[in-house]
Amino acid sequence: MIETVIRKRIEILADTQLQKRVTDAIDRAGITGWTVTPVTSGKGRDGHWREERVMGTDKVFVLTIAAEDKAEVLAEALAPMLTKYGFILSMWDVQVIRGERF
């Protein structure tokens, strides 16, 4: 059987203009990698929304996986921006193979 270890999967939904701030925070937390994908639409508590390049409200989804201590450092760094800019951060435990990479 393949051995797995527990790490934190962190997902962040933010306005595209905040992408660099989010990825910089990931780097400063000592997390070794991240992935960014565009988001074209969604629905939240305030209703439906769509990508809007004219208004500058298009969004990105940032995904990273990290050891728990680094995930906590990242969450602390991003916490002030969650309310100020209204983006979403979620994290949960995942099993990964080759845990030393995260």
pLDDT digits (tens, 9 = 90+) for 30-86: 999 999 999 877 777 777 666 555 555 588 999 999 999 999 999 999 999 988 988
Residue 5 · residue 79 · CB < 8 Å:
no
The length of the chain is 102
The per-residue pLDDT for 76 is: 97
Topology (CATH) of 5-101: Alpha-Beta Plaits (3.30.70)
The per-residue pLDDT for 52 is: 57
The per-residue pLDDT for 49 is: 64
pLDDT digits (tens, 9 = 90+) for 1-17: 889 999 999 999 998 99
Cβ neighbors of 83 (< 8 A, separation 6 or more) are none
d(CA 29, CA 24): 9
d(CA 54, CA 94): 37
Q: Which residue has the tokens 């916490």?
A: 79
